[in-house]
Amino acid sequence: MNELRALFLFNTLSLTAMMAFVPVIGPIIRELGMQEWHAGLTVTVSGVCWMLMARRWGHASDRRGRRPVLLFAAACYVLVYATMAGFIDYALQATPGVLLTLCVLVLLRGLMGTFYAAIPTVSAAQMADVTPPAQRARVMAKLGAANGLGLVLGPAVGGLLARESLSLPLYVAACLPALGLAWLVWRLPSHPPRVNKPSPPLPILDPRLRIPVLAMFLAMGSVIVSQLAVGFYAIDRLHLTTREAASVASMAMTAVGVTLILVQVGMSRVRRIDSALCMMLGAWLAVAGFVLVTCWHSTTGLVVSYAVMAAGLGLVFPSIQTLTANAVSEHEQGTAAGTVSAVQGMAMVIMPVASTLLYRIRPEAPYLCAAFFLLLLGLGVYTHRQRATVTNAA
């Protein structure tokens, strides 16, 4: 369907733009005479705003319709991104005070997180609206592949263009969601709101969403652990120089992105998928990858281990979206998708601090902790499936 293709494209371009900021934030902070924690603050604020706003966007799309909410948030996202690019370009030339620069960057990144929160939330709800339950796993896998492509392209675009200018990647990145928005305006049809009269939003601790919410927090937390620890681990356990560690970390994260895309493209081609089974097996496969990191101390071992992790998580993420959509009614799709997205933002806020604290205890600690909780997730899903089988048989 044209509207699904438009959503896939728009999500890819939006996440590419978001991730293009990652490789340039460090050099920009240094050029502006700021400190490392300033970069961490801007990233954290974006995650907090995402966490706080995702459910609100989802509920708004249930009441007012997916198309107007998504187009409004997308237009604001493009505008804020372009404003940030312009301000950073100005700051690099005029060098305003550190306090003013920090305040403006925190404000703009917070607004970016606020408006970006609507994009995956409303997109997932829209896909659930127009797809029969039996086919949702395939569609969510395609959405996951689209996001995986953005995860790979974003840092590549940012790093490549940064050789010319630190502000150039941001100007180019701002154009990407603008192009996607133009395509979305043309191709995304208008559907009537799912809620015809005011109703209370879905409770954040709704029992129907316990498994997807827990799975999203642990899966996203595992991704963050792998991202933050890889460079340090390459230095401390592989005994590489900082330049060599950066290169190996880049190889490992590229392997993650490519594996995520391949696994989710493969899922999208399967006619019928047992999402709970995929989540269980994916969690356990990711456990194997995390444990393997701590045992295979070589460059090849690190890259292969990260690919195994990604293969498992590539099964988990689409399953989360599918189980979420299939657990609730039509008029709750937006709020349910927002709930899961909010938990994703929560993991982005909590896990960076938790993983760095664990790493100080022992370099293997973050990996083993992620493996332990993913093992518990797989066991929880297994128990849930067994109970559902007994209930259906009765």
Residue 22's closest CA among 145, 123, 144, 173?
173
Q: Residues 179, 228: one domain?
A: no
Distance, in Å, from the CA atom of 283 to the CA atom of 287, rounded to the nearest integer, reads 6
Average pLDDT rounded to a whole number, residues 71-85: 95
Number of domains in the chain: 2
Reported as a pLDDT band with limits 50, 70 and 90, residue 394 is low
Which of 157, 188, 219 corresponds to the end of one domain? Answer: 188
Angle made by CA atoms 222, 78, 113, in degrees to the nearest 5: 35
- In the predicted structure, residue 198 carries a pLDDT above the cut 60: no
- In the predicted structure, residue 161 carries a pLDDT above the cut 60: yes
Going through the chain in order, the beta strands assigned E by DSSP cover none
**Which pLDDT does position 1 carry in this prediction?**
58
Classify each residue of 278-287 as buried b or exposed e, where b means 16 or more C-beta atoms within 10 Å of its C-beta: bbbbbbbbbb
Q: Residues 26, 164: one domain?
A: yes
Q: Residues 292, 332: one domain?
A: yes
Q: How far is CA 126 from the centre of its chain?
A: 18
**Which pLDDT does position 286 carry in this prediction?**
95
Average pLDDT rounded to a whole number, residues 129-145: 82
Is residue 348 within 8 Å of residue 298, measured between CB atoms? no
Average pLDDT rounded to a whole number, residues 220-249: 82
Average pLDDT rounded to a whole number, residues 166-174: 90
What sign results for the dihedral spanned by CA atoms 359, 345, 9, 105?
negative
Task: Give per-residue pLDDT as tens, 251-280.
Answer: 887 888 889 888 988 888 887 888 889 999
**Which pLDDT does position 257 carry in this prediction?**
83
- In the predicted structure, residue 22 carries a pLDDT above the cut 90: no
Domain membership flag for residue 143: no
Q: Residues 11, 59: one domain?
A: yes
**Which pLDDT does position 390 carry in this prediction?**
66
Q: Residues 106, 167: one domain?
A: yes
What integer best gives the mean pLDDT of the chain? 86
**Which pLDDT does position 200 carry in this prediction?**
63
Reported as a pLDDT band with limits 50, 70 and 90, residue 196 is low
Q: Residues 232, 120: one domain?
A: no
43 against 198, higher pLDDT: 43
* Structural domain range at position 180: 1-135+148-188
Task: Give per-residue pLDDT as tens, 348-366.
Answer: 788 877 887 888 899 899 9
325 against 202, higher pLDDT: 325
Q: Residues 173, 248: one domain?
A: no
**Which pLDDT does position 80 carry in this prediction?**
96
Domain membership flag for residue 249: yes
Token pair for 325? 């959509």
Q: Residues 380, 281: one domain?
A: yes
Q: Residue 373's domain is classified under what CATH number?
A: 1.20.1250.20
In a 3-state reduction of DSSP, which class is residue 34? coil
**Which pLDDT does position 331 carry in this prediction?**
79
DSSP annotation string for 42-70 = HHHHHHHHHHHHHHHHHHHHHHH-HHHHH
Domain membership flag for residue 161: yes
Domain membership flag for residue 140: no
Q: How far is CA 122 from CA 37, 71, 86, in A?
A: 32, 10, 28
Instruction: Give the rounded percent of residues in the chain with a pLDDT score beyond 70.
Output: 96
